[in-house]
Amino acid sequence: MLHFSCDLCGHPLGDRRFVVKMEVHPAFDPEEIDEEDLDADHLQEISDLIEEMETNGKAELDDCSSKRYRYDLCPRCRQRFLEDPLGRDALGRLNFSQN
């Protein structure tokens, strides 16, 4: 039998659990081409990447792949999530010293 715990508070979940599913993906239209794309020197960009790989052994590439997340929440944490899904209130409560 599977046992679930809340991914926020860690309490064991019984029959009342809620599932949050999120997907993060790039918000650009690959079919849309503008003047800047046409004017860019793509061969030079590829040459620069190859040169960087040869010098450093790796290239700095942005990870633009889609990511999917799934969380199990208890009723209390579900309500907290629904009230502030991006956690903005938590960021406002941080107090940094004036060093």
Task: Reduce the DSSP state of residue 10 to 3 states and report it.
Answer: coil
Task: Reduce the DSSP state of residue 1 to 3 states and report it.
Answer: coil
> Per-residue pLDDT for the chain (99 aa), expressed as one digit of tens each?
678 899 999 999 988 999 999 999 888 766 677 777 777 777 888 888 888 888 877 656 667 788 999 999 999 999 999 999 888 887 666 566 666
pLDDT reported for residue 93: 62
pTM > 0.85? no
Q: In this structure, is the dihedral angle defined by the CA atoms of residues 65, 68, 22 and 92, taken in order, positive or negative?
A: negative
Phi-psi map region of 57: left, alpha, beta (phi>0 left; psi -120 to 50 alpha): left
* Structure token pair of residue 4: 């679930």
